Structure 1
């Protein structure tokens, strides 16, 4: 088979680096585009001697042009502390990043994949959340640069598909964790693990009864490739995540037990617009290509804890 040339924007990030690894294992040529705002060199260091791997230091807000067969558009800070650090840049990354990826896909009739998010559902009033749910999103809150940015990117993807016949794939990602996460990214799994390993107080926001569903990174990447390999008639959006639902207190207790930590729980006020419940309805992914997550939370946490012990 002829090698495909695949662009991964945000390829040095947590999920981007796992995707690059999977694509290289499939014998593709991989172009990893990243401006290293949150992406890290250490994530892609294992691939640097691979002749089929190329790194391009570039901000997706700015146009680019070269031949590609497929595009995975992942570029965007994904944790609240990072995307709230420069909210205008976050919004521009979502919108201009989508436009530039779509224009390049149009030029070469390439498949283009959009990494959307469960945040498009906002503080959901329907539980669990199916793809048909339109969401409950604050358009001008502190999370809006990310939430509305991702919603706007989805709009562009489907408008390009309707107007230009662009070959699109849209996935909505629910909370994902695993090795290559930035230990300082401010996400709940990395926060809890790092605090527990240092025997520091574990920070619980609100009463700790808000819920999330945690998907291990390998399961998610496998689902992405299933979606990208599917027929062009399958555009999405498709939810991907683990439907197992846990409170923040349950997660903290699991992390403390698995790390044998002496950490205590401390409570702080809940940040603005923080969703109270989050759980995916993944029945569509099962119907389309038989996908479902396989790694249970305890096993995934063990692997992630081993990674974080390096820091």
Structure 2
């Protein structure tokens, strides 16, 4: 007989950067974990240390196809999250967000399971409100190069709320802002991993635009804690809830900090700004503070040091 406090949790996208950390935390809590991934951007390397865990199961599956398992909670993290990856096959990216949401919601409906959607700050587009609050509807180009991800995630949120209203499904919607940490993909094109890899390998550090655009960077451990706290709330709290770091940095400041922390000789060079790239991105986390008693704990320098150490090992360099 299974322990009544032990839950069976499905993590879609569980071999990815965020998903692998979430799988670890759920196992640490004593739960059973079914890790689902099609390995388009996820990697077995991220979860290989879990493969022999007695409460961990790995399934190779694409969420655009229906799934039949028995679980208590579902975390839907399945979707490429970096521009390099989601623009590689934009049609599949939209399918993953929309068909994936339909299939995960259908599973939750059949099981009467609680389900969390990993949404994104990209639903705000290039925002005209700063910082971004959850009641802001966004400023998104629906036909741009980023729309496959932005609009896919917006449609997924629509589906979650309609399943909640129509089928009384127990949903949680979390809007994730820029997150970084160990297990980021080295070639995903995201700014933290880009800069660290370039700095460690002595290549030019490429800034798009003049580097004055701002982002807020949340360490992965804090992000996962926010996801767990949201899933643990009662059924009256459904979201959306911003989960991210409200402290802004310019991209140029980030590049300079990484050069300093890696003792790199890399030179910062400037390239044209991609289309629809937002100039500002920073969360208002009042809801997370009030509803989840959550805010980030890891300072940027501390998180960058841990991430740099990870990439040192990944690239086969001795840690400094």
- Which of 142, 149, 154 aligns to 2:152? It is 149
In the TM superposition, 1:22-171 aligns within 5 A as 22-171=25-174
Counterparts in 2 of 1:176-255, with a 5 A limit? 176-255=179-258
Q: Could you tell me which of 294, 300, 308 is aligned with 2:311?
A: 308
Q: Within the alignment, does 1:17 sit opposite 2:34 as a pair?
A: no
Q: 2: CA distance between counterparts of 1:289 and 1:210?
A: 29
Deviation (angstroms), 1:140: 0.3
- Distance in 1, matches of 2:69 and 2:263, equals 50
How far does residue 290 in structure 1 lie from its aligned partner after superposition? 1.1
SS at match of 1:309: helix
* 1:261 equivalent in alignment to 2:267: no
* Partner Cα separation in structure 1 for residue 292 and residue 280 of structure 2: 27
Task: Report how many residues are paired.
Answer: 311
Residue deviations 1:228-266 (CA, integer Å, cap 9, x gap): 000011000000000110011000000000000000011
User: Are positions 1:299 and 2:302 aligned together?
Assistant: yes
SS at match of 2:118: strand
Aligned residue for 2:284, secondary structure, equals: coil
Q: Which runs of 4+ in 1 moved over 3 A?
A: none
Correspondent of 2:286 among 283, 286, 296: 283
Gap regions ≥5 residues in structure 2:
316-320
Alpha-carbon offset, residue 289 of structure 1:
2.1
Normalising by structure 2, what TM-score?
0.97
Instruction: Name the TM-score, length of structure 1 as normaliser.
Output: 0.99
Within 2, Cα distance between the matches of 1:67 and 1:176? Answer: 30
User: CA separation in 2, counterparts of 1:70 and 1:245?
Assistant: 33
Using the alignment, how far apart are the partners of 1:8 and 1:229 within structure 2?
15
Report how far residue 51 of structure 1 moved.
1.2
Deviation at 1:288, TM superposition (A): 0.7
Structure 1 unaligned spans of 5+: none
